[in-house]
Amino acid sequence: MSNHKDDMHAPGVFALSLVFLAVFIVIWFAHLKWLMDIWAVR
């Protein structure tokens, strides 16, 4: 039976992609708040 952990060729880049995803989510909600402030969207 294959060890799935060994199947990942580039775990570092995979980890970085998760960091980018988290940062993206933070920026996304921050910019929504910014938009609400600027345009007074309710």
Q: Is 18 in the site for another protein (CB under 8 A)?
A: no
DSSP string, 1-42: ---HHHH-S-HHHHHHHHHHHHHHHHHHHHHHHHHHHHHT--
Considering only 2, 5, 7, 12, the residue that binds another protein (CB under 8 A) is: 12
Q: Is 7 in the site for another protein (CB under 8 A)?
A: no
Nearer to another protein, 13 or 40 (CB): 13
Answer whether 12's CB lies under 8 Å from 18's CB.
Answer: no
Q: Is 30 in the site for another protein (CB under 8 A)?
A: no
Q: Is 40 in the site for another protein (CB under 8 A)?
A: no
